[in-house]
């Protein structure tokens, strides 16, 4: 069951339905978004909230995609390393196996 949770972003309060076990994550996400929107807004207080929200969302999406790409690269490198270690172990086992 979802409960309404109040989050505050750029001096505006929003009620968001959220399961109780996800409340902490929602509040953390709202805090991150508020922080990013404040960075985008900077000293230009005349920018519309919609524009600030879109720019903050684009920045967060770009960071997410970079992290996802980097994680994929790390996974591929780990796979290559594990494959090489397995080949070396197989070679050692072949050499030391009784005949």
| Residue range 84-97, pLDDT digits in tens | 999 999 988 887 76
The reported pTM is: 0.74
* Per-residue pLDDT tens listing for the chain (99 residues): 889 999 999 999 999 999 999 999 999 999 999 999 999 999 778 889 999 999 999 999 999 999 999 999 999 999 999 999 999 999 888 877 676
In terms of residue numbers, what domain contains 66? 3-96
| Residue range 42-55, pLDDT digits in tens | 977 888 999 999 99
Q: How many domains does the chain have?
A: 1
- The CATH number of the domain holding residue 49 is 3.30.160.880
Listing DSSP states for the chain in one string gives --EEEEEEETTEEEEEEE-GGGHHHHHHHHHHHHHHHHHHHTT-TTS-HHHHHHHHHHHHHHHHHHHHHHHHHHHHHHHHHHHHHHHHHHHHHHHHS--
């Amino acid at each position: 069951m979802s409960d309404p949770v109040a989050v505050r972003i750029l001096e505006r309060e929003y009620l968001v339905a959220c399961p109780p076990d996800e409340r902490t994550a929602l509040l953390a996400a709202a805090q991150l978004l508020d922080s990013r929107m404040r960075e985008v807004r900077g000293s230009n207080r005349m920018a519309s909230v919609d524009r600030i929200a879109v720019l903050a969302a684009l920045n967060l999406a770009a960071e997410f995609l970079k992290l996802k790409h980097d994680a994929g690269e790390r996974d591929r490198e780990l796979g290559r390393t594990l494959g090489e270690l397995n080949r070396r172990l197989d070679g050692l086992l072949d050499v030391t196996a009784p005949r």
